[in-house]
Amino acid sequence: MARCSYLFLITLIFTSLKISSADSKISDVVYNRSKESAVRDPSVFLAIIARNAAHLLPNWLAYIENLDYPKNRMSVWIRSDHNEDKTSKILQEWSQNVKHLYHRVLVNVSDTPHKYDDAVGPAEWPDSRYQQMMYLRQKALDSARKQWADYLFFVDCDNFLMNPKTLRLLMEEKRTVITPMIEVFGGKAAYSNFWGGMDEDGYYARSDNYFPMLQREEKGCFEVPMIHSTMLIDLRKTISDQLRYNPPLPSYHGEEDDILVFAHSAREAGIKLNLLNKEVYGYMLSPSNGNSTLEDMKVHFTHVKLEWFVDHPEELMPVSSHITVEYTPPGKLGFDEIYLINLKRRPVRRKRMLASLKELGIKVKMFDAVDGKSLTDQQVKDMGIKMLPGYKDPYGKRPLTMGEIGCFLSHYLIWEEMINNGLDKVLVLEDDVRFEPDFRNQLQHLLQEANALSSEYPWELIYIGRKRFHSNPVTMVPGASALAWAEYTYWTLGYAISLRGARKLVSAKPLEKMIAVDEFLPIMFNKHLNPEWANHFYPRNLVAMTAEPLLLYPTHYVGDEGYFSDTETTGLIPPELQQTDTLKGKVEL
């Protein structure tokens, strides 16, 4: 009996070991199967066709690099020709530096011929350019098919894909042909990369649903008659074999235009063209005028970037690290110094302004603003600052704030530095300005004109940006095309000042009878509307002019999203420094 029990125990242990071993093998199989379930992302054939895009490529390529998609699953196909700028050179440099990142980089660029014989300028689209575009898009389509790519992704060089998820989001829709809605930078233009309607001949037609889709009042994935510029084609679908650019189908009788020919082939094949507008995917440039020069196109894009910086100061625009970027050499534009006033506790403003000025090729000297928020009552007393008797803010009906004192001191200290260093001409910029298009060239022209007229009209202050108080026509300086005489004005966004002007302002001893700095300046050129305040200063003979048209505006106005003030939200000047008695020596002019 004992022997049987012993044999039974041995058998039980052996069976348990076999079961345990089998379980282990089953577990290994399940584990290995989970590993085997992982699949690669679909392969993407990215087609880049560029011409005269040197000014766009540093930023555009950065957005391509930032796409949230594995680069080793992407082949990049690059074609460029008929360039009058350095587009080919930039693309060759980029392709050489990123070829180890992508599955494959196929580049074919040519510098000759450098323009189309039947084109007036680099931005014009003659028939020969349309024909070349049809040829190149077809070559991309054929190459992607030959490579057995899963997707063909066209992205034009004036379409900036700010949303890194764009490619994946398009794939998720599982459509044969689809485009992300790309609106024009600024969101104020009716142009986009799709049509809402098409007539019987295949041309643009108005439609009721275009603006609701463009303005994203209606969101989703919509069938539309025409898409262009950026699109994803699913080449895994056999019906995609019927898509073509060149030659057009025999049934096509329209103009030689790549987007029209493609749309016709899709219609004939029964392939829907889809627009996705569920999210914001990116922005595009408005089409250039056919007469635009390379410089015109560069100036336009620079302005677009600067406006983007205003609206997106936290992110600005990325720049590809894989190419050599040539910026306009920084200069002072004829001034002895250009000051940028900025509070240390406003680093985002500083970053935005320095990036903008780098784009413009303007060299500045940072000037740390006096922060009214950290000014103490004792510091104000020690500087001998007292408020002008009877002064009240015209709108708030309040005394000076400590922020306004800090603002005044920031400008005053620059005037003193001018005098101490013998600087003849200075430009002063605040950090909340928005630049007008072609700011650099316009400012240079203005200063040249002011200097040319200085023997007869020796300027001492020129507003570059200001707040007008009426819509009456300005009085131009005789012989000037960009200068007018200054009237009562608010704001000190930006101004040019001469050494003689700085001496006049400082000699008026404004610290001991202080008012807001943008009230003080009109007093000094005798255009202030309050004679009681003005009579405390003498002489009031500052020679003041203004840019016409203005070259600077505020980034934000009161009530705008993102508006804040560092002058109006601080405490008030101490009561003991709010003079109530009339100052002695008041002089009438």
When pLDDT is cut at 50, 70 and 90, the band that residue 584 belongs to is very low
Task: Evaluate whether 44-284 and 337-555+565-574 have a shared fold.
Answer: yes
CA dist 411 and 399 (Å) reads 20
Mean pLDDT over 85-91 rounds to 96
How far CA 241 is from CA of 134, 138, 266, 271, in Å, comes to 17, 12, 10, 11
Determine the residue type at 472: N
Contacts of 143 (CB under 8 A, 6+ apart): 45, 77, 106
CA dist 497 and 429 (Å) reads 11
CA dist 271 and 345 (Å) reads 56
Share of the chain above pLDDT 70, in %: 90
CA dist 123 and 128 (Å) reads 13
Mean pLDDT over 213-225 rounds to 96
Determine the residue type at 268: E
Measuring CA to CA, which residue among 553, 328, 354, 335 is closest to residue 437? 553
CA dist 106 and 110 (Å) reads 14
Least confident of 27-36, 162-171, 438-447: 27-36
CA dist 353 and 410 (Å) reads 17
Rounded to two decimals, what is the model's pTM? 0.89
Which residues sit opposite 44 in a β-bridge?
74, 151
When pLDDT is cut at 50, 70 and 90, the band that residue 33 belongs to is low
173-190 pLDDT, tens per residue?
999 999 999 999 998 889
Share of the chain above pLDDT 90, in %: 78
395-433 pLDDT, tens per residue?
888 889 999 999 999 999 999 999 999 999 999 999 999
Measuring CA to CA, which residue among 163, 162, 179 is closest to residue 171? 179
Residue 169's Cβ-count burial label (10 Å; 0-12, 13-18, 19+) is middle
Measuring CA to CA, which residue among 241, 243, 231 is closest to residue 173? 231
Contact 541/526 with Cβ under 8 angstroms?
Answer: yes
CA dist 571 and 573 (Å) reads 7
CA dist 72 and 76 (Å) reads 10
Give the position of tokens 């093998």. 25
Whether residue 588 is predicted with pLDDT greater than 70 in this model: the reply is no
Output the six-digit token pair for 249: 């189908």
Does 3.40.50 match the CATH number of domain 337-555+565-574?
no
CA dist 372 and 571 (Å) reads 8
Whether residue 9 is predicted with pLDDT greater than 50 in this model: the reply is no
356-379 pLDDT, tens per residue?
999 999 999 999 999 988 999 899
- Residue 481: per-residue pLDDT: 97
Name the phi and psi angles at 171, rounded to 5. -60, -35
Determine the residue type at 376: T
Compute how many other C-beta atoms are within 10 angstroms of the C-beta atom of residue 139. 17
End-to-end CA distance of the chain: 133
Whether residue 125 is predicted with pLDDT greater than 70 in this model: the reply is yes
Contact 375/577 with Cβ under 8 angstroms?
Answer: no
Mean pLDDT over 144-168 rounds to 98
**Superfamily for 44-284?**
Spore Coat Polysaccharide Biosynthesis Protein SpsA; Chain A (3.90.550.10)
**Domains of the chain, residue spans:** 44-284, 337-555+565-574
Whether residue 225 is predicted with pLDDT greater than 50 in this model: the reply is yes
Output the six-digit token pair for 431: 């950090």
Name the phi and psi angles at 434, rounded to 5. -115, 125
233-267 pLDDT, tens per residue?
999 999 999 999 999 999 999 999 999 999 999 99
CA dist 125 and 181 (Å) reads 23
